[in-house]
Amino acid sequence: MFCKPMLMTEREEPFDDARYLFEPMIDGHRLQLEFTGGRPKLLTRHNNDVTRQYPELHNVPLVKPADVILDGEVAYVNPDTGAAEFRTLIERYRLKKGPAIRDAKKSFPVLFFVFDILHYDGADLREKPLLERKELLDRILEDNAYYKKLLYVEGAGKDLFELVKKSKLEGMVCKRKDSLYEEGKADDWLKVMNRNYPFQMPDNLAY
């Protein structure tokens, strides 16, 4: 079951607001994981199936077995620099042959930064407030070498944005704590871009 993703509206300046939580932006591509009956299915924001491309994400580190749909960003993080390398990720995305994918899994493993949970154990959570969904996600999913729950702060957007700039990250996402999960762009989810970030978009990219 593919859930059309909730998207962000751009805002020019960072801000503080106790009604919001703030997350760093990860330079990767949007990924939705459907895990049903112990079988994974990985889909891009345009509903392209990339389950074969990322075999390291097939074992989902749930605290206990359950059917889930998770939303997040997949990225390749260079272990030497700690930087997300979008071009390397897209090379992984474009691989089609099994041996090449297996080699890349070892040489260039991806990380799935999970920031939301949309379904759990048969329940549709999209009508639940974001903070409630985050609290559930924290309880049911463990971090490991391939899965990381995306860190966030509450209220202090300006401080996080300063850290984003110092860390040379892509930007910051600002989400209302009480926001429901809606299809398409919404004013409850905002993004503030780091204008000094060196964006490098490969040619003819569609995912």
Residue among 32, 29, 10, 22 nearest 119 (CA): 32
35: amino acid identity, one letter: F
pLDDT of residue 196: 85
In CATH, what class is 6-193?
A: alpha beta
Domain definitions of the chain by residue range: 6-193
Per-residue pLDDT of the chain (207 residues; tens, 9 = 90+): 899 999 999 999 999 999 999 999 999 999 999 999 999 999 999 999 999 999 999 999 999 999 999 999 999 999 998 889 999 999 999 998 999 999 999 999 999 999 999 999 999 999 999 999 999 999 999 999 999 999 999 999 999 999 999 998 999 999 999 999 999 988 999 999 998 887 655 555 555
The span from the CA of 194 to the CA of 205, in Å, is 22
Residue among 99, 13, 14 nearest 55 (CA): 99
CA atoms 112, 205, 34, 23: torsion sign: positive
